[in-house]
Amino acid sequence: MFRKKLGKITADVSEDEAKLLRSVIGQYLDLLENDQPPGDPVMERLLPSASLDDEEVDRKYRDLALNELQNHKRSTANTALQCLPHRGPWSQELGPEETEAWLVVLGDVRLAIGTRIGVTEELMSRPVDPEDPDEWSMAVLHYLGALQENLVEALSD
């Protein structure tokens, strides 16, 4: 988890957690780097329209900003991924750029997973059995949420 120590944010997660984080961030990067079918709900959430009512405004926005936004998302995901060791647990002091990358990537990955599985408030509020393979995505979503909340709390200490 994340904590603030002497004014610096440090990360400390087990080997299994680091492996999970490498996997979900890798899948997120694959999603960003591979063309998705038009209307893919995850991509629509990650790269929302500028206007739902005016196609011309949305087209201009996409022409001007879409590549930059996608590149920023890829860059932050790569920054977070580069923090993680190839094997073993992860223990590291994070600089401001890495901390920001983790905030962004945790939010985006949670958004992608939640959108893909059609999460609702009701689903989020019920207990999850992490041993049940049918509930694995929900367990990961809860873990990432706890990690994100922990990072926000560490930043506000």
The reported pTM is 0.89
Under the banding of pLDDT at 50, 70 and 90, the label for residue 73 is: very high
Average pLDDT of every residue of the chain: 92
Under the banding of pLDDT at 50, 70 and 90, the label for residue 128 is: confident
Q: Which residues contact 81 (CB under 8 A, 6 or more apart)?
A: 22, 25, 26, 29
Helix (H, G, I), strand (E, B) or coil at 3: strand
- How far are the Cα atoms of 8, 9, 33, 54, 150 from residue 93, in angstroms, in the given order? 7, 6, 29, 45, 15
pLDDT, tens digit, 9 for 90 and up, residues 9-52: 999 999 999 999 999 999 999 999 988 888 899 999 998 888 78
pLDDT attached to residue 51: 79
